[in-house]
């Protein structure tokens, strides 16, 4: 029998599902599962309860060609164990699907406020002043509890400018204390040395700073003269404080020519990540500045060349980036959220990891608690204030009808017929922006254009 089918059978039989659910129950501050995985990772004795889990792990390693010593090493990291628990909950709740649906989002991007000190031309959230109904400190801390109890692995604070909120450090350190990996997306202008140190101390692990081109282009984009130098200083301060630092650039007609220069700067400054954002015409971002599919393709090929040639994670939120990797027959399959080096049979995992992660690996939350599939996707699904605990949130995650549709790549128009649908599936937010239909094709992909016969 094919090892993936065998794994599927073992993982989804009622006995395994029952055992997983039992292990996911709370045991003091953590779960029984976390304790067992930790003991397994450090080679300690694990009792009888571990038997079913062991069978599952062995079958999974065989199916996907992974190595036990590597898995053990990864599971020594608490965030990996949290993510692993979410995978197991996903198996119990959704079975083994292509692409895979975890039992809780791996990532929640939370626009903490819409207050901002800049007025960027392409801002997805039309930020400037804070909204009147933004979550109070108390409500924000409660939201952290709900998400932590649901088993969310990582929380990324965005905005507006999240550092403007006076209670930013209180909320961020509480999220870190509750066991979630904490990231921040910022315009970088407020990251002095002290702020960078404070971020590090309060448990922030990853900082993404936007830079949209050379000095003139960036300042034209951001609407304020003299801002460029402050952003570069912010990047250096974050890097020097030991935060994993990422430069992000949104690709549009306005800055297209400048993007290779920003990639050069990322290499010069030695940051760990460069993220090329796929432009989505929403908020203040107008349709006129969207690139053609061919221009996007050219940029992604350049990004790919750099990913292969440097130690920097040159990544993109464009889901077709994974398609390019497969076309190049690479063992690296970069996706929006992860850059796995998939050797041998592990490549089979690519179909399960999938491309667009909205409503599947990730979900977005607005400053007033509204929950949407993605930050670029203005479709309210719920509000965090409606949930009194993690179980309420998980019920929503399991049962929401829109989420269910977004997870099914076969039903997407045009993309559903594409051989890359499980690793890509097109950007659902772009389809929604263009056609008000999230199951329409993504108009930014050269393959979609070919399949449509354009």
Q: Please pick, from the candidates 20, 424, 433, 439, the single residue that binds ligand SF4 as defined by CB under 6 A.
A: 424
Q: Please pick, from the candidates 57, 184, 442, 443, the single residue that binds ligand SF4 as defined by CB under 6 A.
A: 442
Q: In terms of Cα–Cα distance, which of 316, 310, 275 is closest to 296?
A: 316
Nearest distance, CB of residue 300 and ligand SF4, angstroms: 11
Asked if 86 and 180 count as a contact pair (C-beta separation under 8 A), the reply is: no
Give, as ranges, the residues between 140 and 199 that touch ligand SF4 (CB under 6 A).
none
Taking the C-alpha atoms of residue 263 and residue 266, their distance in angstroms, rounded to an integer, is 5
Taking the C-alpha atoms of residue 229 and residue 231, their distance in angstroms, rounded to an integer, is 5
Q: In terms of Cα–Cα distance, which of 133, 191, 184 is closest to 160?
A: 184
317 binds ligand SF4 (CB under 6 A): yes
Give, as ranges, the residues between 329 and 368 that touch ligand SF4 (CB under 6 A).
336, 356-358
Taking the C-alpha atoms of residue 402 and residue 259, their distance in angstroms, rounded to an integer, is 35
Nearest distance, CB of residue 407 and ligand SF4, angstroms: 11
User: Where do we find the tokens 């999220």?
Assistant: 175
* Closer CB to ligand SF4, 145 or 413, in the complex: 413
* Closer CB to ligand SF4, 110 or 168, in the complex: 110
Coil, strand or helix at 27: strand
Length of the chain: 454
Residue 37 backbone phi and psi in degrees, to 5: -65, -35
323 binds ligand SF4 (CB under 6 A): yes
425 binds ligand SF4 (CB under 6 A): yes
102 binds ligand SF4 (CB under 6 A): no
Taking the C-alpha atoms of residue 299 and residue 103, their distance in angstroms, rounded to an integer, is 34
99 binds ligand SF4 (CB under 6 A): no
Q: How far is CA 38 from CA 64, 77, 240, 320, 431, in A?
A: 22, 9, 32, 36, 42
Instruction: Please report the DSSP string for 108-174 in residue order.
Output: EEEEEE-B-S---TT-TT--BSPPTTPPPHHHHHHHHHHHHHHT--EEEEEES-GGGSTTHHHHHHH
| Segment lying near ligand SF4 (by CB under 6 A), choices 12-20, 146-154, 326-334, 424-432 | 424-432
Nearest distance, CB of residue 336 and ligand SF4, angstroms: 5
| Segment lying near ligand SF4 (by CB under 6 A), choices 72-80, 160-168, 382-390, 410-418 | 410-418
- Quote the tokens at residue 353: 């990891």
Taking the C-alpha atoms of residue 422 and residue 171, their distance in angstroms, rounded to an integer, is 36
| Segment lying near ligand SF4 (by CB under 6 A), choices 135-143, 241-249, 264-272, 314-322 | 314-322
7 binds ligand SF4 (CB under 6 A): no
Nearest distance, CB of residue 273 and ligand SF4, angstroms: 16
Coil, strand or helix at 107: strand
Nearest distance, CB of residue 330 and ligand SF4, angstroms: 15
Nearest distance, CB of residue 427 and ligand SF4, angstroms: 3
Nearest distance, CB of residue 451 and ligand SF4, angstroms: 6
Nearest distance, CB of residue 147 and ligand SF4, angstroms: 18
Nearest distance, CB of residue 332 and ligand SF4, angstroms: 17
> Per-residue x/- marks for ligand SF4, 376-395, CB under 6 A?
xx------------------
* Residues making contact with ligand SF4 (CB under 6 A): 317, 319-320, 323, 336, 356-358, 374, 376-377, 414-415, 418, 420-421, 424-429, 442, 445, 447-448, 451
């Amino acid at each position: 029998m094919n090892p993936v089918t065998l794994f599927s059978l073992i993982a989804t039989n009622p006995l395994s599902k029952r055992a997983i659910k039992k292990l996911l129950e709370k045991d003091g501050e953590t779960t029984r599962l976390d304790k067992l995985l930790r003991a397994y990772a450090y080679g300690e004795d694990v009792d009888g309860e571990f038997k079913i889990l062991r069978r599952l792990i062995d079958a999974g390693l065989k199916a996907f060609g992974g190595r036990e010593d590597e898995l053990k090493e990864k599971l020594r990291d608490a965030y990996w164990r949290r993510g692993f628990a979410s995978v197991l909950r996903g198996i119990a709740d959704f079975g083994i699907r292509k692409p895979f649906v975890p039992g809780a989002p791996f990532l929640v991007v939370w626009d903490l406020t819409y207050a901002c000190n800049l007025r960027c031309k392409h801002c997805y959230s039309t930020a400037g002043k804070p909204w009147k109904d933004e979550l109070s400190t108390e409500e924000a801390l409660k939201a952290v509890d709900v998400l932590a109890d649901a088993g969310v692995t990582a929380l990324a604070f965005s905005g507006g400018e999240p550092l403007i909120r006076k209670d930013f450090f209180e909320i961020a350190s509480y999220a870190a204390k509750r066991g979630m990996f904490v990231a921040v997306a910022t315009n970088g202008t407020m990251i002095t040395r002290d702020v960078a140190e404070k971020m590090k101390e309060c448990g922030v692990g990853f900082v993404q700073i936007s830079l949209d081109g050379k000095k003139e282009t960036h300042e034209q984009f951001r609407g304020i003269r003299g801002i460029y130098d402050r952003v570069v200083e912010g990047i250096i301060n974050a890097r020097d404080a030991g935060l994993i630092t990422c430069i992000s650039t949104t690709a549009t007609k306005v800055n297209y020519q400048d993007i290779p220069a920003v990639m050069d700067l990322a290499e010069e400054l030695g940051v760990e990540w460069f993220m090329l954002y796929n432009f989505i015409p929403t908020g203040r971002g107008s349709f006129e500045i969207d690139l053609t599919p061919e221009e996007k393709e050219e940029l992604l090929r350049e990004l790919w060349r750099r990913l292969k040639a440097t130690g920097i994670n040159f990544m993109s939120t464009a889901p077709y980036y994974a398609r390019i990797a497969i076309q190049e027959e690479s063992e690296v399959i970069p996706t929006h959220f992860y850059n796995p080096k998939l050797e041998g049979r592990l490549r089979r995992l690519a179909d399960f990891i999938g491309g667009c992660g909205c409503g599947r690996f990730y979900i977005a939350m607005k400053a007033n608690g509204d929950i949407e599939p993605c930050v670029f996707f203005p479709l309210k699904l719920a509000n965090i204030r409606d949930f009194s605990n993690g179980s309420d949130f998980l019920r929503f995650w399991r049962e929401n009808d829109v989420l269910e549709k977004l997870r099914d790549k076969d039903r997407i128009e045009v993309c559903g017929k594409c051989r890359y649908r499980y690793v890509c599936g097109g950007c659902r937010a772009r389809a929604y922006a263009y056609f008000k239909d999230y199951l329409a094709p993504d108009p930014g992909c050269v393959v979609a254009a070919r399949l449509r016969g354009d």
